[in-house]
């Protein structure tokens, strides 16, 4: 009798696990289909093929700005931090020339201790992958200037650091609003750009990284709007 009870419990657990796996796969297929449909409506290209840590990609073009977006699940890391990326190679600078991040993070990174840590992390990354990920940012902060432009609410939460020769006057109200006001996640709560988002302009182009961004399609649309708006403003002012 006891063996029968144990067997029944075991069968129930296995059945529950199988149901969860099937349900998870079904949900992923539905989400993939929704992204494909929504992307097509906007004239974007969508690739749902998983490769390495990247689960899916988007590509689009707006007034001469060709861009791509992708979702990096950070799969395989002990403490994964999923990231959404927007990137274009149409706008480049010879060196790192622009960083937009939250004020709290900027205060940590730009300080003496923060710069030392970035150099150490960069050395480890270069030894492991051959890429010095943060070295240019540590050097950038030594001469960078912070723009005293924008509304008080924006300056309270974000810092815009630029190289001395970068143009000014492109940080308008619309761009500030896009960086500040993100959509409401479907699962509730809020998403604060100043705590999760980083913008950089480097030799390989303009890039936006949004850590732990919800995968709701409204967020992908918002990320694309920020990228396109910023790219067009920088392009106009650098001409």
pLDDT in single tens digits along all 239 residues of the chain:
565 555 555 555 565 545 444 445 566 788 899 999 999 999 999 999 998 999 999 999 998 999 999 999 988 777 789 999 999 999 999 999 999 999 999 999 987 554 455 444 444 444 444 555 556 898 999 999 999 989 999 999 999 999 999 999 999 999 999 999 999 998 889 999 999 999 999 999 999 999 999 999 999 999 999 999 999 999 987 76
Distance between CA 198 and CA 180 in Å, rounded? 12
pLDDT of residue 25: 59
Put the strands of the sheet holding 205-211 in their side by side order. Answer: 45-47, 54-62, 65-72, 83-88, 205-211, 197-202, 98-102, 158-162, 145-146
Decide if 85 contacts 69 (C-beta within 8 A): yes
Structure confidence by residue, pLDDT tens digits, 16-62? 545 444 445 566 788 899 999 999 999 999 999 998 999 999 999 99
Output the pTM of the full model. 0.82
Q: What pLDDT does 111 receive?
A: 74
DSSP 8-class letter at 189: S
What does the alpha-carbon distance between residue 56 and residue 49 come to, in Å, rounded to a whole number?
A: 6
For position 172, what pLDDT does the model report?
95
Distance set, CA 11 to CA 6, 20, 221 (Å): 9, 14, 44
Query: What single-letter DSSP state applies at residue 187?
Result: T
């Amino acid at each position: 009798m006891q063996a029968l009870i144990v067997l029944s419990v075991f069968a129930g657990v296995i059945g529950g696990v199988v149901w969860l796996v099937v349900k998870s796969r079904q949900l992923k297929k539905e989400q993939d289909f929704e992204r494909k449909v929504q992307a097509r409506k906007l004239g974007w290209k969508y690739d749902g093929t998983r490769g390495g840590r990247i689960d899916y990609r988007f590509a689009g073009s707006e007034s001469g700005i060709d861009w791509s977006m992708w979702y990096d699940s950070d799969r395989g890391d002990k403490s994964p931090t999923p990231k959404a990326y927007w990137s274009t190679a149409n706008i480049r600078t010879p060196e790192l020339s622009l960083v937009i991040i939250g004020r709290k993070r900027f205060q940590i990174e730009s300080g003496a201790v923060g710069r030392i840590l970035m150099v150490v992390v960069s050395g480890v990354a270069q030894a492991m992958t051959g890429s010095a990920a943060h070295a240019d940012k540590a050097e950038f902060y030594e001469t960078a200037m912070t723009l005293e432009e924008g509304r008080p609410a924006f300056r309270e939460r974000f810092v815009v650091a630029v190289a001395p020769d970068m143009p000014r006057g492109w940080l308008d109200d619309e761009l500030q609003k896009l960086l500040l006001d993100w959509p409401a996640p479907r699962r509730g709560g809020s998403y604060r750009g100043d705590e999760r988002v980083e913008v950089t302009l480097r030799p390989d182009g303009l890039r936006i990284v949004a850590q732990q961004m919800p995968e709701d399609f409204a967020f992908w649309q918002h990320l694309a709007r920020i990228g396109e708006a910023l790219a067009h403003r920088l392009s106009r002012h650098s001409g």
